Amino acid sequence: MTFVTCDLCDEHADKVSVVTGLNWFSYGGRQAFGGEIVTVKCFEDNSRVKEHLATDGKGKVLVVDGGGSLRNALIGDMIAENAVSNGWEGVIIYGACRDVQELAKLDLGVVTLGCVPIKSVRRGEGQLNIDVTFGGITFRPGDFVYADANGVISSTEALL
């Protein structure tokens, strides 16, 4: 999948919403990625992230509302490796990741607010496939998201 979010915004100005006010960092080996949105809402507990990324993710991007916390990582190398094995396009986390040197080697997009070496707590908490809002837009399961070095955008329909 080759695209530039700037071009998608220019070509589909009336169809895209743009995440604003957040400073994203790209840690995965895939620099541009997009697909159908699947969501998780959790806070410092990656139980649902791990569960979801263990399922078939072909053509999908997991969008995680981690409450913006940078205290615990919601994804690391082992969960990301599982995501690659299951065909996920990428993960966008309003929160943190870890194992960044290993994430960079994987064919997976990983965009987060930052990194921290502390792992997640596991209490089995979190919500799946609900609307999540951050950066001024709402991500809805079944819509589409695209991310690259320029930013993160969403659309109610596939743009590619």
Any known ligand binding at 98? yes
b/e per residue, 18-54, with b = 16+ CB within 10 A? ebeeeebebbbbbebbbbbbbbbbbbbbbbbbbebbe
Residue 62 in tokens: 């997991």
Any known ligand binding at 78? yes
Any known ligand binding at 76? yes
Any known ligand binding at 77? yes
Within 10 angstroms of residue 76's Cβ, the number of other Cβ atoms is 20
Cβ burial of 139 (10 Å; 0-12, 13-18, 19+) is: buried
Any known ligand binding at 99? yes
CA distance 100 to 62: 18
Binding residues: 76-79, 98-99
Binding residues for Mg(2+): 99
Binding residues for substrate: 76-79, 98
